[in-house]
Amino acid sequence: MNALPSAASFGAALQAAREAAGSQDYPAGTLYVVATPIGNRADITLRALHVLQIVDAIACEDTRHTQQLLRALGIERSPAQLIAVHQHNESGAAQAVVERLLRGERVAYVSDAGTPGVSDPGARLVDAARAAGLRTLPLPGASSVTTLVSAAGLRADGPQASAFVFAGFAPAKAAERAAFVQGLAAEPRAIVLLEAPHRIEALAQSLAAAGDRLLTIGRELTKQFEDIATVPAHAFAGWLAESPQRRRGEFALVLHPLPATAAGDGAVDASAQRTLRLLLAELPTKSAVRLAAEISGAPRNALYALALQWREDADDDGA
């Protein structure tokens, strides 16, 4: 992958953005939620380039980081036009943004990378705007979640194959992280996780409990030293240990779906199925599955998959 483009490289892109997006309507008093590149600046969209030029202010997770990105894109905004809205001040800062919106200003929100509100700040700001009766206009773009899912090669051989669960970051404390990963074992669908480099080895040790279940690793996605690999979950720690470079950078992970043979009806006999149906009538799915597994001895993963399938069948029948 080539080096990142410079500010001069975006001159034509800024002109193209004005031509492609300039004729669209950009209402006043609107919060624009703008996805930004997760690594390669060339992944910025034309509409994002245009909006970042025309809004009255840009709320951002880190004003210094955003100023650097804007300058790299060839966009000049004064420091007074940048508003810090991050995880430590989001609730209070959101009200200041709402006041601007109520005055008829256009305000964009960007996180440090990717799509705001997806394991990044932004959700509280959007909620505050909604509560004030204001419009939020999302500008889709880069996301490490969908980027890695698209490259994971998840099989399409079952009703849950194309579905995935976004679990985000695992807890930092060892006991909580182990319980978190253990809870994932009951989920038959693919699971997307994010992790920082200083905690990736600890997560790898915890994920070893998933055994032969496939794990796709995305490291430094879209960047110059991007690395994508698929290994059994138990081999992840060994994969990391093969090179110091592999323990650097930001990570996205996809734990693949359970194989159909591990999640199908065949692993659950008629008695266990009857127990599960009775419990599902009275309890939430997870509680019903846990008790059914304890009573019948059937695999919890298979019971959970069966419960999800029954729920989907019921939804289809009611449609």
pLDDT, averaged in runs of 10, over the chain (319 residues): 67 95 96 97 97 98 97 95 95 95 98 94 96 98 96 73 88 91 84 96 93 94 96 96 95 88 56 87 90 85 82 65
- Cα gap 110→67, rounded to integer Å: 11
- Cα gap 10→266, rounded to integer Å: 57
- Residue 161: predicted pLDDT: 60
Quick check: 253 and 239 in contact, CB under 8 A?
no
Quick check: 188 and 305 in contact, CB under 8 A?
yes
Is CATH 3.40.50.150 what the domain over 7-139 is classified as, yes or no?
no
- Cα gap 171→195, rounded to integer Å: 10
- Cα gap 126→291, rounded to integer Å: 39
Write out the two tokens for 88: 């430590």
- Cα gap 125→261, rounded to integer Å: 44
- Residue 160: predicted pLDDT: 59
CATH topology for the 144-258 domain: 3.30.950
Closest CA to 96 of 128, 133, 139: 128
- Cα gap 52→276, rounded to integer Å: 53
Residue 185 backbone phi and psi in degrees, to 5: -60, -25
- Cα gap 311→19, rounded to integer Å: 48
- Residue 4: predicted pLDDT: 65
